[in-house]
Amino acid sequence: MAVAVALTTQCPYCLELHRSGAQAAGASQEELAETALVAAALRAGAAITHAAHVMGGAKS
């Protein structure tokens, strides 16, 4: 979870701290990759939600 949050906030210091902590706790490269994809999906989800508001306010 900490890695996903760091990816979402895009803090390089948090990313390094939590990546090394996750690896020390036994996280695999595959698990870190999955975490990155989930964080990307969440960020994209927020963009889509905001886009819906933008488009809903647009007048033709």
Q: What is the pLDDT of residues 1-49, one digit of tens each?
A: 999 999 988 899 999 999 999 999 999 999 999 999 999 888 887 788 8
pTM: 0.71
User: Distance (Å, rounded) from C-alpha 46 to C-alpha 18?
Assistant: 23
User: Distance (Å, rounded) from C-alpha 58 to C-alpha 11?
Assistant: 34
User: Distance (Å, rounded) from C-alpha 51 to C-alpha 29?
Assistant: 33
Q: Report pLDDT for 54.
A: 85
- Taking CA 45 as the corner, what is the angle to CA 39 and CA 47, rounded to the nearest 5 degrees? 110
